[in-house]
Amino acid sequence: MRRPLLVGALLTAVVALVASTAVAVGTLDGPRSGPLGTRGDGQSPYGNMMGGQGQRSGAGMMGSSMTGSTGFVSLPGNGVSVSGIPAARTRAATAAKPAGLHPGEVMWFDNGFYVELKDSSGRPATEIIVDPRNGAVSTEPGPAMMWNTRFGMMRTGGRSTGTVDATKARGIATSWLASNRPGTTIGSIDAYPGYFTIDLQRNGVVSGMMSVNSSTGAAWYHTWHGAFIAMEDS
């Protein structure tokens, strides 16, 4: 008599997991938090994405950087806090080297550091985050994981040839912001393999980021960064 109950419970758990994944990767029709949202307990939400100390399953047990079967860039934490942009850039460079990448723009938010990685030709390749608590590095949650066609789950071996160009992406972002974040404007826009990432501003100050898929035009607002502190490009 207990077997049907057990099977039913397992089916319910599977349905719930699929539903939560759909919410995380779907087109956003308005600002929302959720599986990738900013935590409210004062701790970096990046920690959960990197397994506490940043040790992604399959990462080198000796603390080496890696790119796994999905192409994600990863570096386990070393227990040393990251207190500024130079230190974050150093951690990012160490994580990116095995993939033949190097850091470009670094943005410091109160939840941690965002780092743009470029390839040898200087083109944007993927985006990573550095946990300020322990130096762990991971591919940024959201578009970099789900949409990137070179270093993410949608890998095709090269850059995407989608139908949405930078002009269309800017228009999509402008319309989304007008409906969901009025008063927020578009700053710079960078083309990554499979999507565009756009820096957002409010009253002339960086206020966040969003991405637009270059094949579907889907918009994804980055909810996980927190308040902007400083940035440095190179």
Domain boundary among 128, 158, 188: 158
- What is the pLDDT, as a whole number, of residue 64? 52
- What is the pLDDT, as a whole number, of residue 197? 98
pLDDT digits (tens, 9 = 90+) for 86-125: 999 999 999 999 999 999 999 999 999 999 999 999 999 9
Low-confidence stretches of the chain (pLDDT < 50) are 1-44, 47-63
78 and 147 housed in the same domain: yes
CB within 8 A of 20, min separation 6: which ones? 34, 35
50 and 154 housed in the same domain: yes
- What is the pLDDT, as a whole number, of residue 68? 55
- What is the pLDDT, as a whole number, of residue 70? 65
126 and 172 housed in the same domain: no
In a domain, 29, yes or no: no
92 and 191 housed in the same domain: no
Domain count, the chain: 2
- What is the pLDDT, as a whole number, of residue 50? 36
154 and 176 housed in the same domain: no
The H or E element that residue 23 is part of is: helix 2-25
- What is the pLDDT, as a whole number, of residue 159? 64
64 and 111 housed in the same domain: yes
Domain boundary among 158, 179, 203: 158
- What is the pLDDT, as a whole number, of residue 147? 95
CB within 8 A of 194, min separation 6: which ones? 147, 148, 149, 150, 152, 154, 159, 160, 162, 213, 214, 215
pTM of the model: 0.74
**Nearest in space to 128 (alpha carbons), one of 100, 193, 143, 191:** 143
In a domain, 37, yes or no: no
137 and 103 housed in the same domain: yes
- What is the pLDDT, as a whole number, of residue 156? 79
Tokens of 122: 């200087």
122 and 145 housed in the same domain: yes
In a domain, 85, yes or no: yes
Range of the domain at 200: 166-221
Domain boundary among 142, 158, 174: 158
67 and 143 housed in the same domain: yes
CA distances, 223 to each of 3, 53, 85 (Å): 41, 22, 21
Please, what's the largest Cα pairwise distance for the chain? 65
